[in-house]
Amino acid sequence: MDRITASIVGGSGYTGGELLRLLLGHPGVELAQVSSERFADSFVYRVHPNLRGHTRLKFTSSQELESCGLLFLALPHGVSQRRIGEFAGKAERIIDLSSDFRLRDPAAYMRWYGHDHEAREWLGGSAQFVYGLPELHRDEIAGARYVSGTGCNATAVILALWPLCRRGLVQQAVAEVKVGSSEGGSEPGLASHHPERSGAVRSFAPTRHRHLAEMEQELGLESGRSLHFSATAIDMVRGILATAHCFLCEDLSERAVWTLYRQDYGSEPFVRLVTERRGVYRYPEPKILAGSNICDIGFARDEEGNRLVVIAALDNLMKGAAGNAVQAMNVMYGWKETLGLEFPGLHPV
């Protein structure tokens, strides 16, 4: 295997730390640089203590970036689009984990993010950013130079509903996610302060969560019509549990639903269909997925109506962010898709 050189811009956050962990152990990657303006010249393990003894890399300023084969951008929203020309001059390929290049319609950024996009020419099109969910866009990612990350909540809901929506089977769906505190990032604030967060079950986006834009785009749903979404913070560090109440256009049996999901996900390396009938883990649960790149999907059929409840679970920092980005990298370079992502999660934790 020919190794590539890769660097990370914005490596001091939780997602950057996960990228570091994954890339340091990836057989196809030589990690060259990791940037952080705040921690420049400090060893990366001082910010990510789990990496003690695994690397002697130090953070650099993004102004000191050297050319490399692949650049991962793990920056706050708005930064990548302002500097994309500069970053493109540093690397043959880019994977941007922010929300800056996820939406194909430039007008959607004003609606969902409150500002015009500053690099419209980079949105969509075969030569520009591809939405980086391999389960939906594997062939496009394989030939791409520029790939966007995916929203963690969007990933869970899109994977949960894709087999139904692509067949036009969803009349209405109401999806709600319960999320851990790491989704809020590494910068402390009142919402993450321990006395405020501990024991909380807090609705923080009952309507108009920004990830809904990705869900509608990728599922092919009319904006504001077919899918309704809410997000709730709970007392957990990692993980997302998505519960989607789907009102179907057809009266499908449980066997028919399983057939659809097996057709779409039966050979997917990172989507597992949970089919157990008994036990505490008979439905997807994020606790057992911590550290893995796996999305578990299951469902329950309401026998007294046309409602199907689809449940999906994943680690928001892995399949919802860094792990999915590494999976996309593997696809881009034609490597085995599971390379560097074989960790199955822990039990118990």
Scan for tokens 């999906």, then name that residue. Answer: 312
In contact, 234 and 200? CB cutoff 8 Å:
yes
Catalytic one among 152, 165, 246, 295?
Answer: 152
Residue 165: active-site member: no
| β-strand pairing of 4-9 with 29-35 | parallel
In contact, 36 and 59? CB cutoff 8 Å:
yes
Burial class (CB in 10 A: 0-12, 13-18, 19+), 106: middle
Query: 3-state DSSP call for residue 41?
Result: coil
The DSSP element (H or E) to which 328 belongs, if any, is: helix 323-332
d(Cα 170, Cα 167) in Å, to the nearest integer?
A: 8
Which ranges in the chain belong to alpha helices (H)? 14-24, 79-88, 107-113, 134-142, 152-165, 194-197, 211-219, 254-265, 323-332
d(Cα 298, Cα 163) in Å, to the nearest integer?
A: 12
Query: 3-state DSSP call for residue 109?
Result: helix
Minimal CA–CA distance to 201: which of 241, 245, 174, 229?
A: 241
The DSSP element (H or E) to which 325 belongs, if any, is: helix 323-332
| β-strand pairing of 295-301 with 201-205 | unpaired
The residues annotated as belonging to the active site are: 152
